[in-house]
Amino acid sequence: MDDRALAQALLALDAIQVRVDEPFTWSSGIRAPMYCDMRRVMSDVRVREAIVERWVDIVRALRGDAVHAIAGTATAGIAHAAWLAHACALPMVYVRAQPKAHGTQQRIEGVLPPRARVVLVEDLVSTGGSALRAVEALRSAGADVAAVVSIFSYGFVQAHSAFADAAIPFVPLCTLDVLCAATKDEGAEAVLNWRDQINAHARTIV
């Protein structure tokens, strides 16, 4: 499944919804003409397998320097990381947003091999904040993060700058530009304009 076919599949699943006339409000307070719910991908065997196949190719390309484990972000990346780890025959861990409040107070669940080189799986990247916090936790545990992969990225300049500053390769399978090129929805131009306005504002802050 190529980039365009994946974008069309995500739209068909309502994993990505566009609503220009009645914008969504994100948890961050941002008013947006689109909303992503990548958890819907878990319920479609064909699409989730196509995604994992694409990620397997990425992991294999990195294996010249060896990848020792797959990590997922909690909670949205856990299922996808598990499927990818199984396909690659690698150990899998997941990273909590905060340390567990009881017991051993773990931040990383599972057994992370010593000095492991890890690929981190996120379902969706907007600003990149949650993925980079997971990267910091993995690094603090002695791991080397080889790359962050995601199903979708909005293409916010803030995220790409943050990954570059952290020296982490970031590989989304589908981007907002590909999505808008793949749909005939008349709202595509409005969505791109919205993203460009956010990017322009981010550049003025930087």
pLDDT for the residue numbered 27: 81
Confidence at residue 183, expressed as pLDDT on a 0 to 100 scale? 82
What CATH number is attached to the domain comprising 189? 3.40.50.2020
Tokens representing 21? Answer: 């006339």
Task: Give the pLDDT score at 205.
Answer: 40
Range of the domain at 199: 3-205
Instruction: At 133, list the tokens.
Output: 């916090």
Report the domain count for the chain.
Answer: 1
What pLDDT is stored for residue 206 in this prediction? Answer: 37
8 contact partners, CB below 8 Å, separation of at least 6: 182, 183
Low-confidence ranges of the chain (pLDDT < 50): 204-206
CA-nearest of 94, 101, 97, 102 to 143 is 94
Helix (H, G, I), strand (E, B) or coil at 57: helix
